[in-house]
Amino acid sequence: MRGTINLSGVDTANKTLSNLGTTAVNADIIMGSNDVTGIGSLIFTNGGSGGAAGGSWIVSDASGDIQINVADADSLILSYENSLVWTINKSRQLGNAIILSDSLTLNDASAEPAVAGEIMNDGADVKIFTGGAVKNITNMVVNPIAADFKPAASLTYNLGSSTEVWAALFVTNVRFNASTQFINGAAVGMTFEVPTGDVFDWQINNASEMIIRAGEVDIQNNDLVDIGELTFNGGSNQFISTSGGMLFNVDAGNILEFDVALTGYFFVTSTQDVFGTYAVFWNKTNANRGTPASAGSTIFNTDDGFINVWDGSQWTDAVGNAT
């Protein structure tokens, strides 16, 4: 069969082509406005470029790929159940819920996005148009963020979660919801700040272990252990130290005073020791008073009823008699 079969406006397709069988059609079939229905498959031969460059066509090229082409300024539209899913034109691809199983490469557009939701590679960074402005995605992913990093709503979102935890937090200043409460990592130390009237409440298992308020540290009846030295504010050299024993020290001219109920019982100055009321010495016997290491060691001897003083070689009583 040779020539052209023109079915435009003529309902003769079944009658004319019903007995073609496997005979090849070597002529154009012009359908006009009629539909071609009931097709099991379309098999394309290697069709080269497939028609005019500016036309709309589908061909199978020499490598077996299917090429789909539309005319300049037209769009290729993919629909599902008559609903638009994806539109492809010369400048962009638009679609709903596009999920990539691999990677997305953006060619250099040498321009910034200008439409809401548009993502482009401007030649240096990947940018997105959102919130009425162009945002640099590259800064968010790789480089330092060059703007405030804010949540969409206040007191709503967390940084990390109980199962997705950041490894470390590197910051200079942590400010809490009250602007006067903050932690500041200064170059010479660490500053914890709360406003006047507030306290630092250090807790373990929801129980207060130490409370710090203006002018006071309350350790909640807990112990202070492993202390090397306690230095006081009253003088430049006033401290209690555990170095080589227990050492109490005050500045020259000051008094070291031991009190009970704020009543002075024992005073130590640079020149004398003074008992506020009376002194009580250790009660010993001749059998257990031993041999002291230092001269001047004093006891009360219950055997003879006298105060005994070790003079460096023997015990003597308070009047100087050897005992």
Give the model's confidence band at 40: pLDDT under 50 very low, under 70 low, under 90 confident, else very high.
very low
Give the model's confidence band at 197: pLDDT under 50 very low, under 70 low, under 90 confident, else very high.
confident
| DSSP conformational letter for 108 | B
At 266 the pLDDT is 75
Nearest to 323 by CA among 293, 287, 280: 287
Q: Which residues pair with 231 in a beta bridge?
A: 239
At 210 the pLDDT is 94
User: What secondary structure, in 3-state letters, does 178-228 show?
Assistant: CCCCEEEEECCEEEEECCCCCCEEEEECCEEEEEEECCEEECCCCCCCCCC
At 303 the pLDDT is 92
Give 276-303 pLDDT, tens digit per residue: 667 778 899 999 998 887 888 888 999 9
State percent of the chain over pLDDT 90: 11
Give the model's confidence band at 13: pLDDT under 50 very low, under 70 low, under 90 confident, else very high.
very low
Give the model's confidence band at 178: pLDDT under 50 very low, under 70 low, under 90 confident, else very high.
low
Helix (H, G, I), strand (E, B) or coil at 3: coil
2 C-beta neighbours (distance < 10 Å), count: 6
Q: Which of 102-106, 247-251, 319-323 has the lowest mean pLDDT?
A: 319-323
State percent of the chain over pLDDT 70: 78
Mean pLDDT of the chain, nearest integer: 78
Nearest to 310 by CA among 202, 323, 85: 323
Helix (H) or strand (E) holding 301: strand 298-301
**Which one is predicted more confidently, 165 or 72?**
165
Query: Looking at the predicted structure, is the pLDDT value of residue 142 above 60?
Result: no
Give the model's confidence band at 143: pLDDT under 50 very low, under 70 low, under 90 confident, else very high.
low
Residue with tokens 């020259």: 252
At 51 the pLDDT is 45
At 207 the pLDDT is 92
Angle (nearest 5°) at CA 15 between 14 and 19 = 85
Strand pairing class (315-317; 306-310): antiparallel
At 2 the pLDDT is 44
Q: Which of 63-67, 216-220, 246-250 has the lowest mean pLDDT?
A: 63-67
CB 22 within 8 A of CB 1: no
Using CB atoms within 10 A of its CB, is residue 113 exposed (0-12), middle (13-18) or buried (19+)? buried
